[in-house]
């Protein structure tokens, strides 16, 4: 395994207002904290140019292309070709975020499912991983993933995992990864903490989902990528391993999954 002296925030929203107002500062604070790479997530296709521009600005920031399930009604009938075309950019390394959210139901469930399947098709065509959001939709999420996997393999990660042990076991069986956010640090997250202990270290990522879900001890503040260090330390303690082991594994996992991304020291040397 390569030696990584940093950690990766595998999911953040640098174009959202709370971070965009001090984008350079947020990136600088993350670097100072020991975050060596960040993945800026696209949630609305109409905002893709913002994500691309952010990824182009920083050697250690990559981006994705996708439509959040909340936006499935606002951006309906997404063409697989539209996702694939945007994914050709060298700094775009993933498809999503996409998935199912039955908690808020901000878009009709059938439209969310169509949107989800289109993203999976784009992931399969490009070979890039799909970033999956799922909330209160475990059974449908697993069913769609299994149906789509039967059509042809694809890579992916369940981001900001808060779901059941059943979903964790199912997606791990399919070869997908699981990413843990600051929610795991909350006192109320006992069931999630129990599930985190069962996730194999070679399938684990960490993230902030910034500007949301700031971990303890930052609760009540806007989240930012630097805070992934707090989540990582908590998860390491939870799993009974050193922070260095957790850092090494999750960073290696990120570059194994998002294999179009170049570790930042190599990207900087090549710039």
Any domain includes 67: yes
pLDDT at residue 215 tops 60: yes
What's the pLDDT at 267? 55
CB burial readout 27-66, b (16+ within 10 A) else e:
beebbebebbbbbbbbbbbeebebbbebbeebbbbbbbbb
Any domain includes 33: yes
Sign of CA dihedral 256, 184, 66, 38: negative
Q: Give the tens place of pLDDT for each residue, 113-129.
A: 999 999 999 999 999 99
Count of C-beta atoms within a 10 Å radius of residue 11: 28
C-beta of residue 231 within 8 angstroms of C-beta of residue 208? yes
pLDDT at residue 268 tops 90: no
Segment 171-177 shows an average pLDDT of 98
DSSP classification of residue 87: T
Q: What are 231's two structure tokens?
A: 């989540």
Residues 6+ apart with CB under 8 A from 126: 83, 84, 87, 95
pTM of the model: 0.96
Alpha-carbon distance of 200 to 198, in angstroms, equals 6
Any domain includes 8: no
Any domain includes 223: yes
Alpha-carbon distance of 175 to 258, in angstroms, equals 14
Q: What's 7-76 look like in SS3? A: EEEEEECCCCHHHHCCHHHHHHHHHHHCEEEEEECCCCHHHHHHHHHHHHHCCCEEEEECCCHHHCCCCC
Supply the range of the domain harboring residue 130.
Answer: 14-265
Q: Give the tens place of pLDDT for each residue, 135-160.
A: 999 999 999 999 999 999 999 999 99
CATH code of the domain containing 119: 3.20.20.140
Mean pLDDT over each residue of the chain, to the nearest integer: 96
Instruction: Give the containing element (helix H, strand E) for 112.
Output: helix 109-126
Q: What are 256's two structure tokens?
A: 């194994």
Any domain includes 3: no
Any domain includes 2: no
Any domain includes 153: yes
Residues 6+ apart with CB under 8 A from 110: none
Q: Give the tens place of pLDDT for each residue, 228-259.
A: 999 999 999 999 999 999 999 999 999 999 99
Number of domains observed in the structure of the chain: 1
Q: What is the DSSP string of 200-229?
A: -GGGEEE---BTS-PPTTSTTS---GGGHH
What's the pLDDT at 1? 38
What's the pLDDT at 266? 60
Any domain includes 204: yes
Segment 92-110 shows an average pLDDT of 97
Q: What are 123's two structure tokens?
A: 């992931």
């Amino acid at each position: 395994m390569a030696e990584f002296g940093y950690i990766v925030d595998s999911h953040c929203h640098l174009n959202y207002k709370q971070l965009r107002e001090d984008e350079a500062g947020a990136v600088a604070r993350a670097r100072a904290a020991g975050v060596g790479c960040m993945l800026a997530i696209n949630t609305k296709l109409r905002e893709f140019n913002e994500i691309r521009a952010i990824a182009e600005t920083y050697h250690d920031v990559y981006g994705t292309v996708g439509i959040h399930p909340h936006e499935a009604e606002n951006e309906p009938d997404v063409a697989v070709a539209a996702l694939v075309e945007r994914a050709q950019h060298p700094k775009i390394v993933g498809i999503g975020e996409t998935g199912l959210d039955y908690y808020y139901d901000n878009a009709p469930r059938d439209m969310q499912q169509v949107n989800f399947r289109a993203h999976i098709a784009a992931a399969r065509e490009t070979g890039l991983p799909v970033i999956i959001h799922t909330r209160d939709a475990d059974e449908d999420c697993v069913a769609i993933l299994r149906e789509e996997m039967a059509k042809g393999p694809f890579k992916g990660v369940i981001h900001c995992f808060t779901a059941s042990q059943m979903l964790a076991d199912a997606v791990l069986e399919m070869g997908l990864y699981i990413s843990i956010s600051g929610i795991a640090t909350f006192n109320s997250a006992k069931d999630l903490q129990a599930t985190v202990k069962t996730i194999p270290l070679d399938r684990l990522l960490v993230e902030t989902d910034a500007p949301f879900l700031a971990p303890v001890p930052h609760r009540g503040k806007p989240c930012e990528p630097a805070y992934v260090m707090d989540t990582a330390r908590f998860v390491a303690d939870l799993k009974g391993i050193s922070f260095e082991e957790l850092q090494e594994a999750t960073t290696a996992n990120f570059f194994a999954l998002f294999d179009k991304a170049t570790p930042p020291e190599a990207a900087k040397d090549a710039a």
